[in-house]
């Protein structure tokens, strides 16, 4: 059985050597994530290595560059970390970048923080494990009382409970990293801490200055983003439910319902969606997951997510290959039992383009006739993406002569991209030549019916206008 759900794996110290990378790609990674919170221009070498191994294994693998974004972080401590105790006073200084913190104070790398807070606000640090209440603000100094103590170490993140801090995306570091990612020709740019659609438009404008257009994944991890969810989805190419910082801002108890809402809205608007953060957290140190983690991954699939993402589990965990093998098993089991369908509505039933209408007609035919595979010859990947929005067990084999399209489709649910330079094929026998090549490559069996979509003029994006049922 082919796995429909895609797996995104973050690369890091545990997964950057050629042997481990080869094992991970063989185990089923569809997209590798480069986390630029912990990377710089040297990431280009790692991206080249991934592509070299993928080429050797003849596997389609996409590369996602995840920009750090304007995450507000505290500074460093004299002794790397401190322990805060409930009830003690603690000060955050927004104008002391060189300050080495101690048990009474630490710097914050966001000069406007003091202007955006008021006494009574609650601040959450280290993914919500430490909580402070703002008591008084004097100039750049925010005097707090510890509500929930704990260990606090260098460069931990800071959020306001309930969200609302006004930091925008695209820091100077992000701009440098964006250039690095573009030069490395990544397949996706993941944008952190998106507030509204303007953040995405601003990033596209920066890409244009660099002369490139790369699909953007908008990470939903701020409270404010939920108020602008529809416009963010419409403006982006894909969505990530980034449950870490989102859970800190809205509270962990709210995350499951919000996750379902985001996934449902993304699917309604025909956009790819990823579910991320702590999916198999215990496997950072243990060779087996908890049953709760297995249920978490399975429920994301039953919600309709296109992909699940692993972070520290593969970046710094002890069992990067084992965790992938386990997630693969969970995906296959959940898909076998999945029975979710999405209601049609006016937005998804009335089409302005012939290729979109062909895509929907294709899936209707595939679900009501014994079709073994849907083969779509695609330039841009749009037809394959639209077909993938409908629930079906029929695999979608997306054949493209465009390597950028192959990378884009690695993230789409139930789409299996195959690179094939069919421009040289005879136009009169093109369909048969494509089928013959797919059989030779092992992607297609030599019996049964397949459904093939293509455009009349090969090589023209947006030109899909025909659908044919072929007996192999």
Interval 264-289: pLDDT, tens = 999 999 899 999 999 999 999 999 99
From start to end of 108-183, where are the E strands?
A: 122-125, 130-138, 141-148, 150-153, 158-160
pLDDT score at 321 = 98
Question: Does residue 219 have an active-site annotation?
Answer: yes
What is the rounded CA–CA span in Å between residue 230 and residue 270?
Answer: 12
Q: 202: how many CB neighbours lie within 10 A of its CB?
A: 14
The candidate with the shortest Cα–Cα distance to 242, out of 265, 258, 264, is: 258
Q: At what angle do helices 255-268 and 291-303 cross, to 10 degrees?
A: 30
φ/ψ of 78, rounded to 5, equals: -55, -40
Q: 288: how many CB neighbours lie within 10 A of its CB?
A: 14
Question: Does residue 277 have an active-site annotation?
Answer: yes
Q: 291: how many CB neighbours lie within 10 A of its CB?
A: 8
pLDDT score at 344 = 45
Q: Under 8 Å CB-to-CB from 249, ≥6 apart: which residues?
A: 124, 159, 160, 161, 162, 163, 221, 222, 223
Q: Return the structure tokens found at 314.
A: 């593969």
Catalytically annotated residue among 6, 219, 222, 271: 219
* Beta-ladder partners of 454: 466
* Beta-ladder partners of 93: 107, 141
φ/ψ of 321, rounded to 5, equals: -80, -40
Residue ranges covered by each domain of the chain: 6-69+168-336, 73-160, 354-471
Catalytically annotated residue among 5, 6, 10, 73: 73
**Percent of the chain predicted with pLDDT > 90:** 78
pLDDT in tens, 292-351: 999 999 999 999 999 999 999 999 999 999 999 999 999 999 998 875 444 444 444 556
What is the rounded CA–CA span in Å between residue 417 and residue 408?
Answer: 9
Residues 307, 413: contact at Cβ < 8 Å?
yes
What is the rounded CA–CA span in Å between residue 127 and residue 159?
Answer: 8
pLDDT score at 330 = 98
Catalytically annotated residue among 10, 91, 275, 277: 277
Question: Does residue 329 have an active-site annotation?
Answer: no
Q: What is the mean pLDDT of residues 201-227?
A: 95
pLDDT at 118 exceeding the cut of 80 = yes
Q: Return the structure tokens found at 116.
A: 């955006």
Q: Under 8 Å CB-to-CB from 436, ≥6 apart: which residues?
A: none
pLDDT score at 41 = 85
Q: What is the mean pLDDT of residues 65-77?
A: 93
Q: Would you give the end-to-end CA distance of the chain in angstroms?
A: 20
Residue 441, SS3?
helix
**What distance lies between CA 335 and its chain's CA centroid?**
20
Q: Under 8 Å CB-to-CB from 125, ≥6 apart: which residues?
A: 74, 131, 132, 152, 156, 157, 158, 159
CATH no. of 354-471: 3.40.1380.20
Worst-scoring range by mean pLDDT, 41-55, 63-77, 93-107, 458-472? 458-472
pLDDT at 353 exceeding the cut of 90 = no
Catalytically annotated residue among 5, 6, 33, 203: 33
pLDDT in tens, 216-239: 999 999 999 999 999 999 999 999
pLDDT score at 343 = 46
Residue 90, SS3?
strand
pLDDT score at 462 = 65
Domain 73-160, architecture per CATH:
Beta Barrel (2.40)
Radius of gyration of the chain (CA): 24
* Mean pLDDT for all residues in the chain: 92
pLDDT at 51 exceeding the cut of 90 = yes
Question: Does residue 73 have an active-site annotation?
Answer: yes
Q: Where are the alpha helices (DSSP H) in 58-141?
A: 113-116
Q: What CATH class does 6-69+168-336 carry? A: alpha beta
What is the rounded CA–CA span in Å between residue 120 and residue 146?
Answer: 12
What is the rounded CA–CA span in Å between residue 65 and residue 237?
Answer: 14
């Amino acid at each position: 059985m082919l796995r429909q759900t895609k797996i995104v794996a973050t690369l890091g110290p545990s997964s950057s050597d050629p042997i481990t990378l080869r094992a991970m790609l063989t185990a089923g990674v569809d997209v590798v994530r480069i986390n630029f919170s912990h990377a710089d221009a040297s990431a280009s070498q790692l991206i080249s290595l991934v592509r070299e191994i993928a080429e050797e294994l003849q596997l389609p693998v996409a590369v996602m560059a995840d920009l750090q974004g304007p995450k507000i972080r505290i500074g460093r401590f004299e002794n790397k970390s401190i322990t805060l105790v409930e009830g003690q006073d603690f000060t955050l200084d927004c104008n002391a970048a060189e300050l080495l913190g101690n048990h009474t104070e630490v710097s914050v790398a966001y000069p406007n923080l003091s202007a955006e807070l008021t006494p009574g606000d609650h601040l959450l640090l280290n993914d919500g494990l430490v909580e402070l209440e703002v008591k008084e603000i004097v100039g750049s100094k925010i005097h707090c009382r510890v509500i929930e103590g704990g260990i606090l170490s260098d460069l931990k993140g800071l959020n306001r409970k309930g969200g609302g801090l006004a930091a925008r995306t695209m820091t100077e570091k992000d701009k440098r990293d964006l250039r690095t990612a573009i030069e490395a020709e990544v397949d996706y740019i993941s944008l952190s801490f998106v507030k509204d659609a303007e953040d995405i438009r601003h990033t596209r404008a920066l890409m244009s200055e660099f002369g490139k257009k790369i699909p953007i994944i908008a990470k939903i991890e701020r409270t404010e983003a939920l108020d602008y969810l529809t416009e963010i989805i419409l403006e982006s190419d894909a969505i990530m439910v980034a449950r870490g910082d989102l859970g800190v801002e809205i509270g962990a108890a709210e995350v499951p319902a919000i996750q379902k809402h985001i996934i449902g809205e993304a699917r309604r608007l025909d956009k790819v969606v990823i579910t991320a953060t702590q999916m198999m957290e215990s496997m950072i140190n243990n060779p087996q997951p908890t049953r709760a983690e297995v249920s978490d991954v399975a429920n994301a699939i039953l919600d309709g997510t296109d992909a699940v993402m692993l972070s520290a589990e593969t970046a710094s965990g002890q069992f990067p290959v084992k965790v992938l093998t386990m997630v693969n098993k969970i995906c296959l089991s959940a898909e076998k039992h999945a029975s979710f369908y999405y209601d049609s509505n006016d937005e998804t039933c009335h089409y302005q383009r012939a290729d979109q209408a062909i895509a929907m007609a294709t899936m209707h035919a595939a679900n009501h006739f014994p079709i073994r595979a849907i083969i779509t010859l695609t330039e841009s990947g749009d037809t394959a993406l639209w077909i993938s929005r409908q629930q079906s067990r029929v695999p979608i084999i997306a054949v493209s002569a465009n390597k950028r399209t192959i990378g884009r489709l690695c993230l789409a649910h139930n789409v299996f991209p195959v690179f094939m330079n069919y421009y040289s094929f005879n136009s009169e026998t093109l369909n048969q030549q494509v089928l013959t090549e797919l059989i030779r490559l092992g992607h297609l069996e030599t019996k049964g019916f397949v459904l093939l979509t293509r455009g009349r003029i090969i090589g023209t994006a947006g030109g899909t206008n025909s659908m044919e049922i072929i007996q192999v």
